[in-house]
Structure 1
Amino acid sequence: MFALIQAAGWPIWPIILASVVAAGIIGERLWTLRLGVVTPRDLLPEVVHEYRKSGVSEDMLTRLQNHSPLGQIFAAGLRNDKSTREIMKESIEEAGRSVAHDLERYLTTLGTIASLSPLMGLFGTLVGMIEIFGANTSSTGSGNPAQLAHGISVALYNAAFGILVAIPSMIFYRHFRAKVDALVVEMELQALKLVEIIHGERRD
């Protein structure tokens, strides 16, 4: 592996740095955006049961706030359980926007890496081409074979590494964007159920 990096020359280092950052973001988002962590299936029945049993307490709101993103939305709505349906929905929507922003954390960076990696590879290709032309325009009139070979390796390796980083970065960026959208819709539906149950418009 080190031999490949050495053959690719110094332009490969920004691509390697981008790949490390992308891998870190992908791992963190895979862990954070798990369905059971963001929208636990049993949370709504538990909240409704506790609400009907003992109402809203500060301890209940604190537990929900620290439980999950869905719990944060429920906590925002339950703080206004004595208000009208419209006010309760507004508080839930405000909390939902904040939660959605947190779920999208680092995705812009991942998308930027997916877009820039081929350009960084292209930059390495240009550096390699410059070295090739430098080898062919030496003062002796004949090209330096070693410098020519190094320029070719720089050009090819950087282009390949740039594409290699861009492809998985773009795949996971699209995947996470779609997953966040699906999670936001699911949280909206569950929050709406909570509002309707509390205001007696729906049975649980």
Structure 2
Amino acid sequence: MFEIIKSGGWMMWPLMICSIGAMGIVAERFWTLQRKKIMPQDLVLQVWKLHRENRIDEMTLRRLKTSSPLGSIIAAGIANSAHGREMMKESIEDVGRQVTHDLERFLDALGTIAEISPLLGLLGTVFGMIEIFSELLQHGAGDPTVLAGGISVALITTATGLTVAIPSLVFHRYFLRRVDEFVINMEMEALRLIEMMHGEREAVL
């Protein structure tokens, strides 16, 4: 591995940094974007029980807000219950946008890595080809195997750039899709609970 990095030239080091950064972001997002952390399974049921027992107060709302992203969205709706259903819906959507921003943390960086890695690889190859042709101008092309070997070394950065970019792009799209699904489901759960609390929907949990 070290020999491959060494043969690829100095442009391999930025690519290695991109690779390490991408792996770190993917691991962190897998750890953070777990359904049990974003949407605790029994949270809606617990809030519904608290509402039926008339035990939702300011302290309960604060705990609910900090418990999870779903709790934050539900707390926003309940906190504005005195202002009517439309205001509650708007507050849920506002907090949903903030939650979306938080859940998409580091995804812009992952997308940037996916975009620039092939360009860095191509740039490394261009530098390598320039160096090869400079050598040819100075010493001639007496041995074709030297030229072929030089080209293969120059192409290492392109292959490395693509190797970094393809998984980064796949995981970037995957996590964006996962965040979108979480946000839509959380808003639906919050609205469903609000409607149940107002008697507009049967309390089937």
- The normalised TM-score by structure 2 is 0.92
Is 2:174 aligned against 1:175? yes
Answer yes or no: is the 8 Å Cα contact 1:8–1:153 preserved in 2.
no
Aligned residues, how many? 203
Q: Could you tell me which amino acid in structure 1 is paired with residue 171 of structure 2? A: F
Alignment correspondent of 1:195? 194
Q: Counterpart of 1:18?
A: 18
Map 1:61-72; keep pairs closer than 5 Å.
Answer: 61-72=61-72
Structure 1 unmatched runs, 5+: none
Q: Check the 8 A contact 1:7/1:153 in 2, yes or no.
A: no
For residues 131 and 149 of structure 1, what CA distance do their matches in structure 2 show? 13
State how far apart, in whole Å, the 2-side matches of 1:177 and 1:40 are: 20
Superposition deviation, residue 83 in structure 1: 2.4
Listed one character per residue, the Cα deviations across residues 140-184 of structure 1 (whole Å, up to 9, x for unaligned) are 546699985774344121011001001110110111111111111
2:65 is aligned with what amino acid? Q
SS at structure 2 position matched to 1:54: coil
**Counterpart AA for 1:189:** M
Q: Distance in 2 between matches of 1:5 and 1:44?
A: 52
1:94-125, Cα deviation, whole Å (9 max, x unpaired): 11110011111111111111111111110011
SS of aligned partner of 1:40: coil
Within the alignment, does 1:9 sit opposite 2:9 as a pair? yes
Identity of aligned residues (%): 51
- TM-score (ref. length: structure 1): 0.92
TM-align CA RMSD: 1.9
Structure 2 unmatched ranges of 5 or more = none
User: Which string of whole-angstrom CA distances, capped at 9 and with x for unpartnered residues, describes residues 70-94 of structure 1?
Assistant: 0000111111222211111111111
User: In structure 2, the residue corresponding to 1:63 is in which secondary structure?
Assistant: helix
Provide runs of 4+ in structure 1 moved above 6 Å: 143-147
Query: How far off is 1:55 after superposition?
Result: 3.5
Deviations 1:10-48, CA, capped at 9 Å, x for gaps: 011111111111111111111111111111221101011
C-alpha distance in 2 between matches for 1:141 and 1:179: 56
Distance 1:187 1:146 in 2: 61
- In 2, Cα distance between equivalents of 1:171 and 1:88: 36
Q: Residues of 2 paired with 1:12 and 1:177: CA distance?
A: 28
